[in-house]
Amino acid sequence: MSYRRCLSFSAGTSNTGLADLRAQLMTEAGVDTGSAISTGFFEVGRGLYGWDYAGFADTFRGFVRFYSAAASSTPLSAVEINPEDYENLDAKVSTRLATAGYTAPDNATISSISSALSAVATNVTSLLARLGAFTGTGLNTVLGFLRAMSRLDAGLTPSDMGGTYDNTTDSLEAGAGGALTAASVWSYASRTLTQTAAEVAAVLTGTDLIVKRGDTWTITLTGLGSLAGRSKLWFTVKRQDGHADTDAVLQIEESAGLLRLNGAAGTSGQGSLTVTSAGSGDVTISVAAVATDDLTVETGLTWDIQMLVGAAVTTLTEGTLEVTADRTRAVS
pLDDT band at 271 (very low <50, low <70, confident <90, very high): very high
User: At residue 197, does pLDDT exceed 50?
Assistant: no
Domain ranges (residues) in the chain: 2-86, 128-181, 197-324
- Sequence-distant (≥ 6) Cβ neighbours of residue 65 within 8 angstroms: 23, 24, 26, 32, 75, 77, 78
User: At residue 167, does pLDDT exceed 90?
Assistant: no
Q: Which tops the pLDDT comparison, 128 or 36?
A: 36
Residue type, 288: A
d(CA 330, CA 325): 13
Question: What mean pLDDT is predicted for residues 142-167?
Answer: 84
**Secondary structure in 3-state letters for the chain:** CEEEEEEEEECCCCCCCCCCEEEEEEECCCCECCCCECCCEEEEECCEEEEEEEEEECCCCEEEEEEECCEEEEEEEEEEECHHHHCCCCCCHHHCCCHHHCCCCCHHHHHHHHHHHHHHHHHHHHHHHHHCCCCCCCCCCHHHHHHHHHCCCCCCCCHHHCCCCCHHHHCHHHHCCCCCCHHHHHCCCCCCCCCCHHHHHCEEECCEEEEECCCCEEEEECCCCCCCCCCEEEEEEECCCCCCHHHCCEEEECCCEEEEECCEECCHHHEEEEEEECCCCEEEEEECHHHHCCCCCEEEEEEEEEEEECCEEEEEEEEEEEEECCCCCCCC
Across 70-89, b (16+ Cβ under 10 Å) vs e yields eeeeeebbeeebeeeeeeee
Q: What digits encode the pLDDT tens for the residues 301-315?
A: 999 999 999 999 999
Tell me, what's the pLDDT at 190?
52
Q: How many other C-beta atoms lie within 10 A of the C-beta of residue 288?
A: 17
Question: What mean pLDDT is predicted for residues 112-138?
Answer: 86
Q: Which tops the pLDDT comparison, 269 or 182?
A: 269
pTM of the predicted structure, to 2 decimals: 0.42
The alpha carbon of 137 is separated from its chain's Cα centroid by a whole number of angstroms, namely: 25
pLDDT band at 322 (very low <50, low <70, confident <90, very high): very high
d(CA 253, CA 232): 7
User: At residue 76, does pLDDT exceed 70?
Assistant: yes
Q: How many other C-beta atoms lie within 10 A of the C-beta of residue 232?
A: 13
Q: Which tops the pLDDT comparison, 204 or 74?
A: 74
Q: How many other C-beta atoms lie within 10 A of the C-beta of residue 222?
A: 12
Q: By the 8 A CB rule, do 237 and 249 touch?
A: yes
Q: Given this chain, do its domains 2-86 and 197-324 carry the same CATH topology? A: yes
Q: For the domain covering 197-324, report its CATH number.
A: 2.60.40.10
Question: What mean pLDDT is predicted for residues 187-215?
Answer: 61
d(CA 250, CA 316): 18
Ranges 171-175, 192-196, 224-228: which has the least confidence: 192-196
pLDDT band at 96 (very low <50, low <70, confident <90, very high): low
Tell me, what's the pLDDT at 244?
96
User: At residue 172, does pLDDT exceed 70?
Assistant: yes
Architecture label for domain 2-86:
Sandwich (2.60)
Q: What digits encode the pLDDT tens for the residues 16-31?
A: 999 999 999 999 999 9
